[in-house]
Structure 1
């Protein structure tokens, strides 16, 4: 008897659909040269939000690492990720070399979104943060909106207090199992930002854990058929244009920086800052 024909296993790779490799220094130089044109804005404010365990704080650390050229860990991270490890409304500056010298953009970190009504940041607090009503250092009360008579409520926010770019962080390992409730919360935040005309991007983390072909070689990120399908799905579910969705790998076990990890991160940062710059110049 002849051999049974072997099954043809579809290749997980496709033609590269986004070109980023070889441009790390260009992206980094863009960020080093950037200065807001609008004189009312000394620093672009980027608000980070998303489900608990998505890697928001790790993303902030990875941005810091790519900018500093060394692995950093200022934003505290919890490897268990069952409930949000971030409890404060906290703003992070990024050192630009010398003492007291910082990049002209900051990241604001928030408690994560959680399923149900007993944990996680209140969606209304995210909306208040976007408008600049929450003072830095506020200890967020899960599922409770900050009241106007609270000492941490900023009654008269200026343009510098307001958010100029909204970043939604989602883990590629959980995208397919996110509850409708979580999706609805993220969609609610996105619609509120749209009403304020705040630009928005999505960061897709943990791509190496979700896609073996990317874990084997991170340069496969924009060749992976499965990852491209996930980007397409997220675009449909949450409404982000595909060119506003950026797959990245956060620093996790590494103790030295890596050019490929930095390139993905810095390419996302370049677009994020560009969108924010366009926004503040349209006000």
Structure 2
């Protein structure tokens, strides 16, 4: 009986202790490069994949309460992208201070031409040429004469980590969206920008993980979804991370936090490596 009791305590407390270690790592994180104050993480992906929700989820975990720095929409994805502008999101740390990493949110990718964010604009964003608040125009890419164009980006304006956000509840990647994702990935590779992918909403498609999030790495469906994304985009499996965003929850959850913190640590580490080697 005592042995079973100890195993139960270990099962319950292990995520807590791991999360505390990851939280402390993130809180202590500091860049050593004087040219750059923060790691810039750019999120891209199809409409409704959970880009804005991931930013909110990171804020929730770090601020230890439900927050909403990035506005989200709960209506049908057919209405198009809710995010219209290029926005930088800082995460509050202590009074008057922010964490040394930021997230850039942008319009989602959509099927066909003239809809959603244009691949050309994402390429410009990666190089730091898109100004804060620029309103994306699906019909026309940002031009050098546009007020939203930044002609002289600093090392801090550039993107240091590119993250593809993809819904695990999607049956198949649309061919035109997939081609756009491949073009974005290729452009990032040419710039030497490190890349990873987040698989969101897998719990909506997998009853096993919806019942218990700890089953995520045991789920055959999740493994298949990750494998499909890897084979189609070319991102190695160990750089594809399953993440459960906060969506219905009104209180923090240790298992949700574990996945979010794991992804966040990889992002800031990859960003720091890029800054140290390229800037």
Normalised to the residue count of structure 2, the TM-score between the two structures is 0.92
The correspondence for 1:26, drawn from 21, 29, 33, is: 21
Partner of 2:166: 170
1:248 maps to 2:243: yes
Q: Map 1:1-283; keep pairs closer than 5 Å.
A: 21=15, 22-80=17-75, 81-82=77-78, 83-98=80-95, 100-174=96-170, 176-283=171-278
Paired residues of 1:121 and 1:144 also in contact (CA < 8 A): no
Deviations 1:80-100 (A, max 9, x none): 2221000010000000021x2
Deviations 1:201-251 (A, max 9, x none): 101111110111000000001111121121111111101111111101111
Paired residues of 1:45 and 1:164 also in contact (CA < 8 A): yes
In structure 2, how many angstroms separate the alpha carbons of the residues matched to 1:72 and 1:128?
30
Task: Could you tell me which runs of 5 or more consecutive residues in structure 1 were left unpaired when the two chains were aligned.
Answer: 1-19
Shift of 1:28: 1.1
In structure 2, how many angstroms separate the alpha carbons of the residues matched to 1:117 and 1:191?
19
In structure 1, how many angstroms separate the alpha carbons of the residues matched to 2:137 and 2:114?
10
Shift of 1:118: 2.6
In structure 1, how many angstroms separate the alpha carbons of the residues matched to 2:140 and 2:254?
42
Aligned length: 262
Normalised to the residue count of structure 1, the TM-score between the two structures is 0.90
In structure 2, how many angstroms separate the alpha carbons of the residues matched to 1:55 and 1:264?
14
In structure 2, how many angstroms separate the alpha carbons of the residues matched to 1:79 and 1:265?
21
Shift of 1:143: 3.8
RMSD: 1.1
In structure 2, how many angstroms separate the alpha carbons of the residues matched to 1:143 and 1:270?
36
The structure carrying a bigger helix percent of its residues is 2
In structure 1, how many angstroms separate the alpha carbons of the residues matched to 2:30 and 2:140?
36
Task: Could you tell me which runs of 5 or more consecutive residues in structure 2 were left unpaired when the two chains were aligned.
Answer: 1-13
In structure 1, how many angstroms separate the alpha carbons of the residues matched to 2:160 and 2:21?
23
Paired residues of 1:164 and 1:280 also in contact (CA < 8 A): yes
* SS of residue matched to 2:99: coil
Once superposed, which parts of structure 1, at least 4 consecutive aligned residues long, lie more than 2 Å away? Answer: none
Shift of 1:37: 1.7
* SS of residue matched to 1:209: helix
Partner of 1:15: none
